[in-house]
Chain A
């Protein structure tokens, strides 16, 4: 089986290019961290895939820096709901309690409660538990059902930490 670096080299469209050509190509390429904020249903998601690959390939030591970049995407004024949801799915994989300040206010928001739970359900930590329980205390209806589900999932799979 080929190694990861061999696989990447084989799939590199610029593998025969010299250093200067590569730099020019790099300067022309849009920044995926900006593009992902403009993600839409049905639109080109190749920039999102680039970020997804970075997240999948990351070592744990790289998680804090990636998490910070993902949270910065959420702050972009033109960030779409599709972009926000994508970021939440990435935070579900590598996020920490550092996500709580950004996502806790969404937990009781009709449009964003599910997105926030997509990230927070998998993130361990008491700060997450506190945010979920605080939201549950005021939530109603569908949002409340979702919060209760997330709290139950954490109790079941995270050893009763929630």
Chain B
């Protein structure tokens, strides 16, 4: 079934639907006191993956009651999926996130939109008393991240960042090895991230907006530009108006592990320098070759580069006095096999042993504890990614003050910390 026929077949039901989220107490066997109601903003690829993660938690009281996407095709598909698995009807479908973020019947919002659409719904949700799960990278700009963390704390909400490698035992082990000094003093860290997996030509042509896509809403706070198919779903991440390329896409995962292991969850590097390559024409603008080095106050150098072997995964390798340790999603390797099976002593630092990232979010909604990827942690990780992009653009060493979150002595770099929003969108309540 193609987009057009799908929309035609679901159109009547969509037109008839009104905003009525069925209260959790009538939705099933779960005791109301145990239920946590979820709304989803963004139901494309990552949104559907996150829907499945929440659906797996339904026996723990998680229930999805609403889905929102500016692409009606995505929203309808997500609703059908939820209704099929949950065995109920009445999932609310809409294209404006505010119907969810401002609904008194929703406890938590999961945001899986393109990156330029992370901060606005997250802030609106937090300001209206919702807990939030925000996909990585946390925000499109560093200023957005600062504001998001401030508001999260002010409103005492729970916020989980979608860096799910923190809920994987391999990465937890690597962090514990480094945090406990089992590799000795760390000298440097090498991160490899995948190259762009999509390419486009030197020029492009505007195309008609497909049926069901509210394109102006999709653009949201980004500058207006005509629709072309490669601008939106998935490929948006290679256009700097909406995302930061693979630097933020994969960097958010693997730089996050470096930050974690260095105990820099609330701080960051003090210097960054880069020499990436950017497309000189065409639709895509994000770097095609990433290469930057961030240096921390303790002199540890974190180098992030594009890998050239075609593998669609990253990895992070720590070099210390006692050898090296390398971790990726597929494997954990080391210069010495003994480094792969360290038995930690009582009193050594252990990280929270989460094995289910969404499950950890659900648990923290109930306990009001901070989740394993609290938004403040996500903000600091995303900041390093954005620092890398800025350094690659400016091609000169930049001094960063991680306490005040400003560049020292570089006015142009500081002006890259944020970008003005297209009206009527605003970050400021």
Contact = CB atoms under 8 A, between A and B. Distances in A.
Interface in A14-47: 41-46
Chain B interface bracket (under 10, 10 to 19, 20 to 34, 35 or more): 35 or more
Nearest to A2: B275
A149 B393 contact: no
A149 B281 contact: no
Contact of B281 (A46, A93, A153): A46
Contact of A49 (B204, B280, B394, B417): B280
Contacts of A114: 223-224, 420, 422-423
B333 interface: no
A122 B415 contact: yes
Given A7-B275, A118-B223, A153 B412 contact: no
A43 B203 contact: yes
B293 interface: yes
A49 B393 CA distance: 11
A92 B228 CA distance: 26
B273 A1 contact: yes
Interface stretch (A67-75, A97-105, A138-146): A138-146
Majority DSSP secondary structure for residues of A touching B: helix
Of listed B143, B416, B421, residue having the most chain A CB within 10 A: B421
B35 to A, nearest CB: 37
A45 B281 CA distance: 5
Nearest to A11: B277
A85 interface: yes
Contacts, number: 100
Interface residues of A, number: 39
Contact of B418 (A85, A94, A122): A122
B275 A93 contact: no
B284 to A, nearest CB: 11
B418 A153 contact: yes
Given A56-B394, A57-B395, A117 B420 contact: yes
A42 B420 contact: no
B393 A153 contact: no
B348 interface: no
A145 B228 contact: no
B13 interface: no
Interface in B275-306: 275, 278, 280-283, 291, 293
Interface string A73-101: 00000000000010000001110000000
A131 interface: no
Nearest to B143: A157
B281 A113 contact: no
Contacts of B225: 41
21 contacts: A7-B395, A44-B203, A44-B281, A45-B280, A49-B281, A55-B412, A56-B395, A56-B412, A85-B223, A93-B416, A118-B420, A122-B415, A142-B423, A145-B424, A146-B421, A146-B426, A147-B423, A149-B421, A153-B420, A153-B427, A153-B428
Interface of A: 1-2, 4, 7, 41-46, 49, 55-58, 60, 85, 92-94, 113-114, 117-118, 121-122, 141-143, 145-150, 152-153, 156-157
Given A1-B273, A42-B204, A56-B412, 14 more contacts: A1-B275, A2-B275, A42-B203, A42-B205, A42-B226, A55-B412, A114-B423, A145-B423, A146-B423, A146-B424, A149-B425, A152-B427, A153-B418, A156-B428
